[in-house]
């Protein structure tokens, strides 16, 4: 079986740093899961172009961080259960998120997602931000059982941002193998296709 470190060695060429090699591994692995990945030149931002109903980017940073960002193409189609399921998958939870009744007064997208994640043992906190004299909130999610899986942020427009550390040639053992990161992203994207929801008649 080919290990991630073997794959890193195969992709490595003179002048390439750890982030460039990791980006190539992630792109190749996602292609193996039948995703179309655009790798624009020297950029370390990968674009998955055929995830149904989803805009998906993966940024590989030189400081060893990987950021996966996805959002629905149509904000009105943001699905709390799909989003919670994707976050649970990324953070290493085995449970499948189920739609739950919305408590009285709890109707925002992030409150529904946050409740589902908390019900599955995730640590969920609310972050408040101010920009251009407007205040908005996101939820910040971690899995206390798998801290190495990083953290996720979810916004009311359906945005999911997952951040984790990748391992590189330097021998960092605290991060995730690039091939494993690709597998986790593929698994999150296939938790369910974000189909158009039925509108009330």
pLDDT in tens, 47-87: 999 998 999 999 999 889 999 999 999 988 899 999 999 99
Report the pLDDT value the prediction gives residue 190, as an integer from 0 to 100: 84
Of 91, 110, 199, 198, which Cα lies nearest the Cα of 152? Answer: 91
Give the three-class secondary structure for 26.
helix
For 88-134, the pLDDT digits (tens) are 999 998 655 555 555 555 578 999 999 999 999 999 999 998 888 88
Strand partners, 3: none
What are the Cα distances from residue 174, in Å, to 145, 177, 199?
Answer: 15, 10, 46
Flag whether pLDDT at 164 surpasses 60: yes
Give the global pTM.
0.81
For 146-156, the pLDDT digits (tens) are 999 999 999 99
Contact 157, 133 (CB under 8 A): no
Strand partners, 83: none
How large is the average pLDDT for residues 169-176? 66
Report the pLDDT value the prediction gives residue 134, as an integer from 0 to 100: 85
């Amino acid at each position: 079986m080919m290990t991630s470190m073997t794959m890193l060695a195969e992709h490595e060429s003179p002048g390439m740093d750890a982030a460039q090699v990791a980006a190539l591994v992630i792109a190749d692995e996602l292609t193996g899961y039948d995703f179309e990945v655009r790798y624009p030149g020297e950029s370390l931002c990968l674009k998955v172009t055929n995830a149904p109903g989803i805009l998906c980017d993966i940024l590989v940073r030189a400081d060893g961080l990987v950021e996966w960002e996805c959002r629905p193409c149509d904000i009105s189609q943001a699905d709390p259960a799909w989003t919670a399921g994707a976050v649970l998958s990324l953070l290493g939870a085995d449970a499948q998120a189920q739609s739950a009744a919305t408590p009285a007064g709890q109707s925002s997208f992030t409150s529904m997602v946050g409740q589902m994640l908390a019900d599955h043992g995730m640590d969920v906190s609310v972050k408040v931000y101010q920009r251009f004299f407007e205040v908005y909130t996101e939820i910040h999610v971690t899995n206390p059982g798998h801290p190495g899986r990083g953290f996720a942020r979810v916004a009311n427009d359906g945005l999911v941002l997952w951040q984790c550390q990748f391992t590189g040639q330097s021998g960092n053992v605290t991060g995730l193998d690039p091939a494993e990161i690709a597998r986790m992203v593929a698994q999150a994207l296939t938790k369910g296709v974000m189909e158009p929801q039925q509108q009330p008649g």
